[in-house]
């Protein structure tokens, strides 16, 4: 069997696959082939559903079931000189988990055990392949929840959430993923396994490697276990809507929430085009209630006082505020997550910029000039409590256009909007990560010296550049 | 003037001092001498007040007033091969800011401007020398506060708080320093200045260098500006006391808070010896109310509901719960901070261990055996919400003992207690840092591979090992 590994024509990835199959038959590995083509992509880079398969092979893909097997795979990959892409559920929106046919994907799909839930420590210990929503379903019986709630929570994995430092809707009150990760077990590029962090909220022994691994998009190590901070389910929840007469007045109105003493769990802002998009896609009539909407979830103690104080603050800046019934609340949050759809007749680019909260009105004001200049339409729903916008920049597909090609004017409009965010003191990516898609934009944000420092740290931890080359930094 | 720099007898630190004085006369620098002896120490390493000065000189000390001057000093230090110790207010409790006479201390005392407060962004931009308590006094008029509240808040600087990732009393609810630091300007060892992080809560462009610098105890760079997250002052506060019949029942009773839906801003636990210490020092009669005390501060909306739910939960586990008057509350928190004093007739070691919250009762249970084995007395006040204990291990000074010498049995008891914490899944330092004093203990906690990774990162960022050698890692 060993002869197949050393023939002149076999690729390093092929030799690695054979070595895993021969030496460690208990680890399932699929060779690079058209069968693994799906692993070339994540949600950001996947072809449109109507695209014709191009017949190119995907990467080799391994499915370890233990930390030990991950260590084995990493050591073998280093031995054969094959670079490694760690992959959670593949729902990333920046290309961070995309892989080529000369790489090894280490999938965490089967590292999916909830190892422990400790109500007295308020922690859960999980493997990286556990789906975010599954964890929260499991925690409900304990009266606890895991706060980070990316919009993908039903399909994205905790490991992927950690790799991207995933955000979500509740971050202004409960923090991003980093604030809920207490400790990690990580496989390094030399195959060693280290434990970093603590099971307590406090702990300052040595450098904070836990935070460094969170959001590192697979370039520093592979997380094989995580200790997560949990919180008690709130004693009450309430949904408020605040409709305004224009996008501009709604964006300005957000400041009234900041200046009030109330800190909602969720503050989502919809501009006029976003409301129209939902109405068109979902058959609702939100637009009749106003030109923009702040959708708010309050939670915790004193919910009546909270609602009253917020209603006061928002009414004073011209909002029509309503406390929604439980049924209407559920429908509204469903619309927030799935209501908008994407226009089949238009090409689009989605963004993930974040700005200082006070700059949100300026971002919305910037859309008109960009629309006129580039012949596009721009709208945005915002996680307004943390300054994170998801602009959707679209352009009509004209007869004769290739729907698979992003026209230059659309790409230029997107880059220009990124520049607007940066000029306002903002950032290229609030919560999706840099991956492959946003490296050029990242270079607009970070200084050369800062990029050098990041690359030096990467090289210190992974001198062979084994992990996820060409991504993130 | 240049000739004095090149005489054979002058030390590198002396040459550096002369170079600063000659080339950059606007930067105040004091040469290494007995006048700077105080800079040999921080609060952890300072001699007892009654100690006789030993006549040894302190380090050279520079007092820059701008980021640019810090850059200049760092470049000169590198040129002359003099290592650099950044120093805030010197209130650290682990020796992290201590310096020798062949080093340059860069003091941030005069980098003490509050640059900006933005209520709409909920951020403050400050220089590192700003005192924590001064910042909060300044923020009060805006209705805002900066959450991290180390017990030293009246005298410790924001830069020092960042260097140690300082904790405090409110961390279980509001997070440690890291959770309140959004962005930093940092001078690196090559004298370059980089900006890391974001002015928004979200931002994932590149590796999270902000979190890496927080808690790095001056070994990676010198913070010259920080963007801090602020929060609205709570609409209400209330203090509850819960007295128990024994230390053990009080420690067990802490779990009732965790299992309730209430999350207090502060949960401090006092064992019997701590209560007696306060009564002895402050003339109070707390011990008459019980053998242990959980002192709680609630804040925010629904304060009556919160108090009622917590009183229920604690009464069910045997506590005598009282809501304290405003006056008594103020007195109790004053006692928490300053009430205990330190026994003049005893030698002592203070610790800073943290454990998973569920293990707090086991730590208190461990004291008796250690007391018997080492002939010491052990007590602890805990920041119980985050598992952080400050044990005080004391031993009587007998006639003929040198009060300046820590006897071996006391040191051994301290190390053994650290081992107890580690065996329970805890950590050597919850919030004070490692500095010089706890490096041996840190080696008990961290694996060799983890320490190697930390040192590789240090070397990547500071290849000359210019910054704070021999500290933290």
User: A414-453, pLDDT tens digit by residue?
Assistant: 999 999 999 999 999 999 999 999 999 999 999 999 999 9
- Contact call for A171 and B201, based on CB within 8 A: yes
Task: Tell whether B361 lies on the interface with A, counting CB pairs under 8 A.
Answer: no
Q: Checking phi first, is residue B164 left (phi over 0); if not, alpha (psi -120 to 50) or beta?
A: alpha
The ipTM assigned to this model is 0.95
Average pLDDT (A66-74) is 98
The SS3 call for residue B271 is coil
Task: Tell whether B344 lies on the interface with A, counting CB pairs under 8 A.
Answer: no
- Contact call for A454 and B198, based on CB within 8 A: no
Q: What digits encode the pLDDT tens for the residues B194-207?
A: 999 999 989 999 99
**Nearest-CA distance A165 → chain B (Å):** 7
Task: Tell whether A191 lies on the interface with B, counting CB pairs under 8 A.
Answer: no
**pLDDT over threshold 70, residue A8:** no
Task: Tell whether B215 lies on the interface with A, counting CB pairs under 8 A.
Answer: yes
Return per-residue pLDDT of chain B as tens, 473 residues: 444 444 457 999 999 999 999 999 999 999 999 999 999 999 888 887 777 788 899 999 999 999 999 999 999 999 999 999 999 999 999 999 999 999 999 999 999 999 999 999 999 999 999 999 999 999 999 999 999 999 999 999 999 999 999 999 999 999 999 999 999 999 999 999 999 999 998 999 999 999 999 999 999 999 999 999 999 999 999 999 999 999 999 999 999 999 999 999 999 999 999 999 999 999 999 999 999 999 999 999 999 999 999 999 999 999 999 999 999 999 999 999 887 777 778 889 999 999 999 999 999 999 999 999 999 999 999 999 999 999 999 999 888 888 778 889 999 999 999 999 999 999 999 999 999 999 999 999 999 999 999 999 999 999 999 999 999 98
**Structural domains of chain B, with CATH:** 2-107 (3.30.43.10), 114-232 (3.30.465.10), 237-338 (3.30.70.2190), 346-432 (3.30.70.2740)
Task: Tell whether B422 lies on the interface with A, counting CB pairs under 8 A.
Answer: no
B92 contacts on A by Cβ (under 8 Å): none
Inter-residue long-range contacts of B411-418, CB under 8 Å, 24+ positions, other chains counted: B411/B349, B412/B374, B413/B349, B413/B370, B413/B373, B413/B374, B413/B376, B413/B378, B414/B349, B414/B351, B415/B441, B416/B370, B416/B373, B416/B374, B417/B351, B417/B353, B417/B366, B417/B370, B417/B378, B417/B391, B417/B393, B418/B351, B418/B353, B418/B444
Q: How far apart are CA A65 and CA A78, in angstroms?
A: 20
Q: Which of A305, A433, A438 sits opposite B302 (nearest CB)?
A: A305
Q: Which of B171, B206, B260 sits opposite A454 (nearest CB)?
A: B206
The SS3 call for residue B281 is helix
DSSP bridge partners of A292: A244
Task: Tell whether B149 lies on the interface with A, counting CB pairs under 8 A.
Answer: no
**Nearest-CA distance B210 → chain A (Å):** 9
Interface with B, mutate which of A174, A205, A359 (most B CBs under 10 A): A205
- Contact call for A215 and B204, based on CB within 8 A: yes
- Contact call for B121 and A356, based on CB within 8 A: yes
Q: What digits encode the pLDDT tens for the residues A140-191?
A: 999 999 999 999 999 999 999 999 999 999 999 999 999 999 999 999 999 9
């Amino acid at each position: 069997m060993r002869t197949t590994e050393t023939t002149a024509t076999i690729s390093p990835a092929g030799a690695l696959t054979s070595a895993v199959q021969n030496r460690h038959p208990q680890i399932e590995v699929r060779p690079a082939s058209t069968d693994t083509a799906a692993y070339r992509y994540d949600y950001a880079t996947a072809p449109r559903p109507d695209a014709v398969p191009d017949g190119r092979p995907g990467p080799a893909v391994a499915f370890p079931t233990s930390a030990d097997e991950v260590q084995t795979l990493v050591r073998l990959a280093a031995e054969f000189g094959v670079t490694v892409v760690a992959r959670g559920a593949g729902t990333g929106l920046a290309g961070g988990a995309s892989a080529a046919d000369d790489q090894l994907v280490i999938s965490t799909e089967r590292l999916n055990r909830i190892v422990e839930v400790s109500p007295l420590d308020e922690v859960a210990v999980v493997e990286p392949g556990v789906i975010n929503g599954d964890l929260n379903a499991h925690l409900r019986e304990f009266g606890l929840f895991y706060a980070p709630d990316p919009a993908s929570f039903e399909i994205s994995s905790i490991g992927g959430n950690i790799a991207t430092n995933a955000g979500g809707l509740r971050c202004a009150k409960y923090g991003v993923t980093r604030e809920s990760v207490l400790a990690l077990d990580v496989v390094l590029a030399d195959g060693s396994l280290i434990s970093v962090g603590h099971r307590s909220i406090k702990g300052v022994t040595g450098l904070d490697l836990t935070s460094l691994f969170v959001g590192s998009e697979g370039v520093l190590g592979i997380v094989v276990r995580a200790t997560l901070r949990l919180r008690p389910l709130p004693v009450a929840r309430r949904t408020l809507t605040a409709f305004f007469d224009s996008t501009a007045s709604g964006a300005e109105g957000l400041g009234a929430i900041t200046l009030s003493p109330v800190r909602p769990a969720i503050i989502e802002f919809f501009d006029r085009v976003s409301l129209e998009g939902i109405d068109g896609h979902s058959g609702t009539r939100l637009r009749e209630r106003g030109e923009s909407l702040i959708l708010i979830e309050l939670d915790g103690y004193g919910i009546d006082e909270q609602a009253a104080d917020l209603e006061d603050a928002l009414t004073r800046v011209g909002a029509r505020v309503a406390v929604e019934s439980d049924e209407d609340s559920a429908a509204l949050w469903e619309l927030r997550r799935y209501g908008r759809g994407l226009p089949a007749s238009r090409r689009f680019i989605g963004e993930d910029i974040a700005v200082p909260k006070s700059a949100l009105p300026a971002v919305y004001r910037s859309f008109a000039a960009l629309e006129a200049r580039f012949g596009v339409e721009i709208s945005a729903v915002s996680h307004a409590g943390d300054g994170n916008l998801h602009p959707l920049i679209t352009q009509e597909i004209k007869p004769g256009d290739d729907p698979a090609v992003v026209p230059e004017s659309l790409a230029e409009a997107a880059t220009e909007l990124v520049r607007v965010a940066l000029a306002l003191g903002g950032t290229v990516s609030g919560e999706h990560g840099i991956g492959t898609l946003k490296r050029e934009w990242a270079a607009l944000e970070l200084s050369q010296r800062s990029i050098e420092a990041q690359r030096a740290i990467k090289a210190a931890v992974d001198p062979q550049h084994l992990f996820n080359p060409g991504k993130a930094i």
